[in-house]
Structure 1
Amino acid sequence: MDDPNRQLLAQLWAEHWSAPFPPRCRGVDIENVELVLVDADVAACVSVALSRALDDWRRRVLTKCIGDLERIMPHFEDEYEVEYFGRLHDMALALAALEGVEMKPRPSP
């Protein structure tokens, strides 16, 4: 595992796997993003990517999750929630880089 993105992904996955989902975030939706689902979708993409390349559908899911995470991150104030979803975002970005997923620049507000 000499690719820095693969090493980062493995490290973030191990940390994420052992971290409990933030209790206050269960059943919560921010900006039409269900927090449990964005967590599950990124985790599913990483889990698949650990054994094989992502298919086109999962690549689209990953891209959507990255955008969703970027929209919701400013709404978190709790330190653990910021850490948890920040790590999820970092993990999704590392996977996108590893898979060569092109990210469209977000328009400025």
Structure 2
Amino acid sequence: MAEVKLDQLARLWDEFGAMRFPPGFYQREPEGECMVMMDSMLAGCVSSALSGSLDDRGRGILQTRIVVLGKVLQSIGDDEYATTYFTHLHGMAVLAAELDKDRSE
């Protein structure tokens, strides 16, 4: 099962690499969250998960940021591209967490 998720995550990661960060979100902080940091932290966790199991710190960051981004997504619906971008990021992060869990079982 982990191999299927790894393949899917790699495909999503490639798609994400072709996307550009939403320009309106360099300064915008919905729900008080810096979206540049959100992007950086989650992308780093996803990249690490593609390479192997996460450590406890990485797991904690991933789990916390998944929840926070899920809440933020509700408040950025006014920007269609940003919604697409951050929904893709969220989906990758959730899949990375599932993959990491599968590896530890």
TM-score (norm 1): 0.85
Equivalent residue pairs, number:
101
Gaps of 5+ in 1: 102-109
- The worse-fitting range, judged by mean Cα deviation, of 1-10 and 52-61 is 1-10
RMSD over equivalenced CA pairs, Å: 1.7
1:8-54 residue CA offsets vs partner (Å, 9 max, x unmatched): 21111111111110000002211121101110001111122222210
Question: Are 2:102 and 1:67 aligned?
Answer: no
Match of 2:92 in 1: 91
Aligned to 1:10: 10
- 2: CA distance, partners of 1:69 / 1:4: 25
> Could you tell me whether the CA contact under 8 Å between 2:6 and 2:50 is conserved in 1?
no
Shift of 1:4: 2.6
* Alignment of structure 1 residues 1-109 onto 2, 5 Å: 3-76=3-76, 77-100=78-101
1:2 is displaced (CA, Å) by: 7.0
Secondary structure of the residue aligned to 1:75 is coil
**Alignment partners' CA distance in 2, 1:54 and 1:88:** 18
Q: What is the distance in 2 between the residues matched to 1:61 and 1:2? A: 21
Higher helix residue share: 2
Partner amino acid, structure 2, of 1:68: V
Residues 2 and 57 of structure 1, relative CA distance in 2, 3 Å threshold = closer
Aligned-residue sequence identity (percent) comes to 37
Q: Which amino acid aligns with 1:78?
A: D
Distance 1:42 1:7 in 2: 18
In the alignment, structure 2 segments of 5+ residues that lack a partner are none
CA separation in 2, counterparts of 1:32 and 1:20?
Answer: 22
